[in-house]
């Protein structure tokens, strides 16, 4: 619409040129692959707190790994877990068939695989002359009662722990049960191994298992709960190094075996060199499992998760633990740090703390977790912000627009205290010579100065020999 300048007024001129807003991307999500008592299998379920964790996947069961790492992360304040439950080959859901005379009427099936489903009980109650029936489903202390059901109403109810499937020829009402009947044949399957954690993609169906489930899911930190094998550690690092920016960039938290000496733990890092790996040590004693020790992956992941990417986990408190497997001197913490291991130790008068913020990278430019994560955040946000520019005319107006948007973004990062500073973005004829234009390649050089953690505080004490200048 043409603008009129006759009557004094405020007028709005809409334009699609200029800088675009940039979405703020989060790296707080933690992807956890592990074994649980129950819950969806090979599916990424979002969990935000302990109640959700217990309601969906059950509580602690000795021998299962996922709860131990998940609760460790939640105790640090993490609130965005993407949990993938894995099971061994041959795992089955518990079932029960309700009959009408000698014909199948209704199949009751546990919502997920595992022996837990064998604890579910079902009772059908009805009067001899009734036109409806009552259905009671019990799992431990949880009791669900569905009253005055008919054939038509069964499809409308959604029990918490089971699914109901009517037989094709079902009619009328099911037979009453003589007391509560238990579901049966639920199985956890074979023992879970490294390959179950690493997972795969089915070439015919595209179905994903294990760690592969997290591949298209945005989560900034990943771990295989409580796992300590070289094979799993290597797979985690490879997984993070190969993730595409479109799916999200991430780091992996790795574990040592339990009861390893400092020297033995250091020996395990000699073959590991990656800015996307973080090595946690030692095992810790959780508050709720006094006398037992668990791998620290979830605890360290939780500490990292609640920080802004530019913040180092070094010197941050670790909640929810009573002790670590062994006491460590400053000299031992020093050699662990030199080996690029992230130890959790007791600091006198300050509780349990992460003692450094190092990746496994031997390159000093990428040795800090906070530098790696801040770069990842900026990579993802700028990638998202520049989608509009794809296939636009490759000429000066586009170059200028991109440079302006990048500089505006960097200024925001500086204002927020996420970076120390930046230089003007270069996007011109020098960065885009004719051969690149012909090849349809546009290059912008973005230059920023990161914030480094003040890890080493030096207080220079000077003893004065006179009182002349004393306060």
Report residue 283's pLDDT band, with 50, 70 and 90 as the boundaries: very high
Non-local CB neighbours of 338 within 8 Å, separated by 6+ positions: none
Report residue 23's pLDDT band, with 50, 70 and 90 as the boundaries: low
- pLDDT per residue over 361-396, tens digit each? 999 999 999 999 999 999 999 999 999 999 999 999
* Interatomic CA distance for residues 243 and 76, integer angstroms: 26
Helix (H) or strand (E) holding 89: none
Residue 223's nearest CA partner among 208, 207, 200, 240 is 240
Say what the pLDDT of residue 12 is.
52
- pLDDT per residue over 172-201, tens digit each? 999 999 999 999 999 999 999 999 999 999
- pLDDT per residue over 345-356, tens digit each? 999 999 999 999
Judge whether residue 13 has pLDDT over 60: no
CB 407 within 8 A of CB 351: no
Half-sphere exposure of 404 (CA within 13 A, CB side): 12
For domain 95-182, give the CATH number: 2.60.40.4290
Say what the pLDDT of residue 422 is.
97
Judge whether residue 20 has pLDDT over 90: no
C-alpha 459: how far from its chain's center? 39
Average pLDDT, integer, range 46-51: 97
Judge whether residue 296 has pLDDT over 80: yes
Q: Beta partners for 58? A: none
User: Which part of the chain has CATH 3.40.50.11780?
Assistant: 30-87+193-366
Residue 151's nearest CA partner among 177, 128, 126 is 126
Say what the pLDDT of residue 140 is.
95
- pLDDT per residue over 410-428, tens digit each? 999 999 999 999 999 999 9
- pLDDT per residue over 126-150, tens digit each? 877 779 999 999 999 999 999 999 9
For the chain, helix, strand, coil in percent to 5 are 25, 25, 50
Residue range 30-87+193-366 in CATH 2.60.120.10 = no
Taking the alpha carbons at both ends of the chain, their separation in whole angstroms is 73
Judge whether residue 43 has pLDDT over 80: yes
- The chain-wide mean pLDDT, for the chain, equals 93
* Interatomic CA distance for residues 233 and 221, integer angstroms: 14
- pLDDT per residue over 84-137, tens digit each? 999 999 999 999 999 998 999 999 999 999 999 999 999 999 877 779 999 999
- This prediction has a pTM of 0.91
Which residue is listed with tokens 């003007």?
A: 424
Judge whether residue 17 has pLDDT over 60: no
CB 81 within 8 A of CB 39: no
Judge whether residue 397 has pLDDT over 70: yes
* Interatomic CA distance for residues 210 and 33, integer angstroms: 6
User: Which part of the chain has CATH 2.60.40.4290?
Assistant: 95-182
Say what the pLDDT of residue 464 is.
81
């Amino acid at each position: 619409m043409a603008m009129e300048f006759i009557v004094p007024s405020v007028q709005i001129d809409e334009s699609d040129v200029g800088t675009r807003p940039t979405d703020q991307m989060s790296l707080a999500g933690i992807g956890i692959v592990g074994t649980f008592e129950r819950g969806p299998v090979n599916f990424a379920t979002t969990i935000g707190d302990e109640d959700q964790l217990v309601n969906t996947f059950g509580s602690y069961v000795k021998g299962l790994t996922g709860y131990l790492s998940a609760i460790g992360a939640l105790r640090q304040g993490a609130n965005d877990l993407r949990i993938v439950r894995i099971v061994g080959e041959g795992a089955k859901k518990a079932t029960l068939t309700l009959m009408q005379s000698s014909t199948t009427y209704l199949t009751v099936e546990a919502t997920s695989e595992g022996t837990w489903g064998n604890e579910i009980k079902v009772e059908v109650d009805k009067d001899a002359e009734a036109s409806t029936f009552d259905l009671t489903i019990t799992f431990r202390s949880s009791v669900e009662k569905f009253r005055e059901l008919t054939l038509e109403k069964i499809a409308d109810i959604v029990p918490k722990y089971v699914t109901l499937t009517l037989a094709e020829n079902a009619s009328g009402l099911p037979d009453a049960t003589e007391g509560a009947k238990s579901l049966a044949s639920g199985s956890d399957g074979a023992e879970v191994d490294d390959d179950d954690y690493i997972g795969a993609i089915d070439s015919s169906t595209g179905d994903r298992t294990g760690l592969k489930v997290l591949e298209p899911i945005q989560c900034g930190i990943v771990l295989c709960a409580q796992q300590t094998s070289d094979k799993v550690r290597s797979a985690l690092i490879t997984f993070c190094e190969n993730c595409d920016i479109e799916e999200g960039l991430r780091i992996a938290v790795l574990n040592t075996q339990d009861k390893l000496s400092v020297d033995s733990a250091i020996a395990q890092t000699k073959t590991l060199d990656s800015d996307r790996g973080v090595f946690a040590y030692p095992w810790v004693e959780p508050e709720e499992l006094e006398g037992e020790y668990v791998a620290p992956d979830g605890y360290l992941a939780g500490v990292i998760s609640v920080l802004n990417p530019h913040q180092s986990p070094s010197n941050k408190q670790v909640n929810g633990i009573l002790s670590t497997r062994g006491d460590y001197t400053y000299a031992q913490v020093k050699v662990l740090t030199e080996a690029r291991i992230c130890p959790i130790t007791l600091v006198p008068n300050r509780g349990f703390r992460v003692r450094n913020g190092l990746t496994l990278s031997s390159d000093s430019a990428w040795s800090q977790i906070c530098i790696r994560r801040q770069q990842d955040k900026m990579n993802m946000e700028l990638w998202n912000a520049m989608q509009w520019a794809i296939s636009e005319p490759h000429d000066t107006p586009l170059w200028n627009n991109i440079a302006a948007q990048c500089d505006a973004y960097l200024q925001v990062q500086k204002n927020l205290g996420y970076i120390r500073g930046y230089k003007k973005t270069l996007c011109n004829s020098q960065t885009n010579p004719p051969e690149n234009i012909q090849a349809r390649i546009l290059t912008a050089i973005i230059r920023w100065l990161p914030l480094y953690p003040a890890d080493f505080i030096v207080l220079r004490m000077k003893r004065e020999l006179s009182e002349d200048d004393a306060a």
